[in-house]
Amino acid sequence: MNVNDIKHAGLKKWILDFAALTTPNEIVIADGSSAQYDQLVAEQLAGGYCVALNPEKKPGCVAYNSDPSDVARVENRTYIAAQNKEAAGPTNNWIDPTELKKTMTGLYKGCMKGRTLYVIPFSMGPIGSPIAKIGVELTDSAYVVINMMIMTRVGLKVLDVLGTDGAYVPCYHSVGKPLAEGESDNGVWPCAPLDDKYISHFPETREIWSYGSGYGGNALLGKKCLALRIASVLARDEGWLAEHMLILKISNPAGKSIFVTGAFPSACGKTNLAMLIPTIPGWKVETVGDDIAWMKYGSDGRLYAINPEAGFFGVAPGTSSDSNHNALIAASKNTIYTNCALTEDNDIWWEGIGYDAPGKLIDWNGNEWVQRKGDKTQKPAAHPNARFTAPAKQCPSIATEWEDPKGVPISAILFGGRRPKTIPLVHQSHDWNHGVFLGSIVGSEITAAALDLKVGTVRRDPFAMLPFCGYNMGEYFQHWINVGKAAKDQSKLPKIFYVNWFRKTEDGKWLWPGYGENSRVLKWVFEACEGTAKTIDTPIGIMPTADAIDRPEGVTVEDMKELLAVDIDGWINEVEDIRANHYPKFGDKLPKELATFLDQLEANLKAAK
């Protein structure tokens, strides 16, 4: 299929106009076929951009190494170019949209010379789902095309759904390095200097313009850019929720199941929880999604969620058979690896994979590397943000309902952060608005690894959406309250919980083992949704009784008391920090309900002291 075969006149004109600006050698439409995927991979291998992994150990897998300057999301170059700064809010970078488009149009001019312009029609969510949205990405990166073919539903069926005048989110992307006549990239990952990188979102016109980066979060525009930053604006305007949340299914020994979503900041084990293998006999956890949830009300008045993605863009380091066995299996074939280390027999390796490096490696910078165990000065063989892009359908824990176009009914919503003290293992909100309050104060404690902030302070990441909300976050809090008000039957709203797997003793030892043992907390959440949980009311919310959660091996009765204690003084400090350093950021956009909950929490704590 070529551009002239496209029946959607507006889409065809948009593509041709961008081609006239960027001057590519040719235009290729991503048709979603396995044949085209294989052809693109073969071309990338022949060009030296990637290497094929050992077909016996990792069939159908390839490995890329990026430019060292292009290894992660660039938050300081990510913009919400709303019509005015207030609409973008205090937590986003803002540039006047007219000025930004002028700057970026100049950068796009001739930027695809010597390259191919790929047209990627993609659906976020099952094609034709009432919750799904369609985007079209124009890019000069074959790496982006093959990753998008795993991460989303790409192809001609999407164009069929669009028809002659359907709505889509237009997405521009270029790696940002035009080639001279006859020049080649020579197998080198192309990207622009940091000051020329722009990952830009225009919420009013529902557009995404990205330039200068080939990294996933900056270049796979269906992921964070559409699925969260633009979708959060669509959700606000259309009355639904676009969230940075996993979706899992948990079933008890009797076969009764519920679906749970969960929002966690980075490094809090979200993917591990989504693919958890329970340690409790007879209980089962299945995966619907590991990163994004879009939720809308169904005809029965319940919130239904879809995973708008079709793959996992997982962090490799730290993923092992112990931490996430299901992820390793999902990524064992037909997977794209980025910035991992290569073994001598062309397998991949990373720190935390669960076994020592097998001899001499080639690190992610292309240098020889031999593990020096115990040497903390040795640079890692794999980049700490190394990734795997794997088809979700390959995950052994994938739920049969994961592609149900109507979504799955949500019974519980979890919030959590990395907190070594104060926040208990789990507590439940009294109602929806109280749950919104809990989501609004989520954060993780700063460790010595973050040099820009004082150790021990809390970096707030409300709803785990701080880098991803496409508009003013104070209005985002209000939208959550509005969604709760819109429920026809308040009793059908999901119950909301705040969890914390990361409590430590005074001498720095973990109080809770985490990983599969988190199923014990999920069991209590399940029981709370069923109305059978053992609970006690406390100044911070509803909590398990001391004997309500099955103790894992190695966790003492005293440990459980500590995990489920309400630290009155710690919570009073928490209130003071929220009041002084967090809520003031939102000014008069902060919903009055949340300020009232903070006052009530303080009063409860002081009364209990």
Which three-class secondary structure state does DSSP give residue 357?
coil
Same domain, 482 and 553: yes
Same domain, 361 and 217: no
Q: Does 291 map to a domain?
A: yes
Distance separating alpha carbons of residues 45 and 228, to the nearest angstrom: 32
**Last-in-domain residue among 374, 394, 414:** 394
Same domain, 165 and 43: yes
Compute φ and ψ for 83, nearest 5 degrees: -60, -30
**CATH label of the domain that carries residue 43:** 3.40.449.10
**CATH label of the domain that carries residue 411:** 3.90.228.20
Name the DSSP letter for residue 578.
I
Same domain, 194 and 270: no
**CATH label of the domain that carries residue 333:** 2.170.8.10
Using N-to-C axis directions, what is the helix angle for 592-608 and 432-440, rounded to 10°?
90
Which three-class secondary structure state does DSSP give residue 549?
coil
> Residue 538: what residue type?
T
Same domain, 370 and 437: no
**DSSP codes, 69-109:** T-SS--GGGEEE--SSHHHH-TTSB---HHHHHHHHHHHHT
Q: Does 366 map to a domain?
A: yes
Torsion of CA 314, 266, 588, 591, to 10 degrees: 80
CB 351 within 8 A of CB 379: no
Pick from 204, 231, 31: which is nearest to 131 by CA? 231
pLDDT of residue 177: 80
Q: Does 59 map to a domain?
A: no
Q: Is the dihedral of CA 351, 353, 358, 364 positive or negative?
A: negative
Same domain, 414 and 286: yes
pLDDT of residue 178: 83
Kindly provide the b/e burial profile for residues 196-235, where b requires at least 16 CB atoms within 10 angstroms of the residue's own CB: bbbbbbbbeebbbbbbbbbbbbbbbbbbbbbbbbbbbbbb
- With a CB cutoff of 8 Å and minimum separation 6, the contacts of 562 are 503, 505, 511
Tally of domains in the chain = 3
| Placement of tokens 């092992």 in the chain | 320
Q: Does 107 map to a domain?
A: yes
| Placement of tokens 């970096």 in the chain | 459
Distance separating alpha carbons of residues 5 and 13, to the nearest angstrom: 12
> Residue 367: what residue type?
N
pLDDT of residue 185: 82
- Catalytic residue, from 61, 111, 171, 268: name it: 268
Distance separating alpha carbons of residues 539 and 605, to the nearest angstrom: 6
CB 238 within 8 A of CB 483: no
Same domain, 432 and 304: yes
pLDDT of residue 266: 82
Annotated binding residues for Mn(2+), as ranges?
224, 244, 291
Same domain, 133 and 203: yes
pLDDT averaged over consecutive 10-residue blocks of the chain (609 residues)?
Answer: 94 98 97 97 96 98 96 94 97 98 97 96 96 98 98 97 97 90 83 94 98 96 97 98 98 98 91 96 98 97 98 96 96 98 98 96 97 94 97 98 98 96 97 98 71 67 97 98 97 98 92 96 98 97 96 94 96 96 97 98 95
Distance separating alpha carbons of residues 244 and 227, to the nearest angstrom: 9
Distance separating alpha carbons of residues 537 and 202, to the nearest angstrom: 45
Residues in a beta bridge with 29: 119
Q: Does 61 map to a domain?
A: no
CB 320 within 8 A of CB 352: yes
Which three-class secondary structure state does DSSP give residue 435?
helix
Annotated binding residues for GTP, as ranges?
267-272, 387, 418, 515-518
Q: Does 112 map to a domain?
A: yes
Annotated binding residues for substrate, as ranges?
73, 215-217, 266, 385-387
Same domain, 160 and 269: no
Same domain, 413 and 535: yes
Distance separating alpha carbons of residues 577 and 580, to the nearest angstrom: 5
pLDDT of residue 369: 98
The model's pTM: 0.96
**Last-in-domain residue among 189, 221, 239:** 239
**DSSP codes, 182-251:** T---TT------GGG-EEEEETTTTEEEEES--SHHHH-TIIIIIIIIIHHHHHHHHT-EEES-EEEEEE
Q: Does 65 map to a domain?
A: no
> Residue 304: what residue type?
Y
**Last-in-domain residue among 394, 415, 444:** 394
Same domain, 296 and 388: no
CB 140 within 8 A of CB 24: yes
Annotated active-site residue 225? The verdict is no
CB 221 within 8 A of CB 135: yes
Name the DSSP letter for residue 516.
G
Q: Which helix (H) or strand (E) holds 35?
A: helix 34-46
Same domain, 488 and 556: yes
Pick from 167, 171, 170, 173: which is nearest to 132 by CA? 167
Q: Does 564 map to a domain?
A: yes
Domain that includes residue 207, residue range? 3-49+76-239
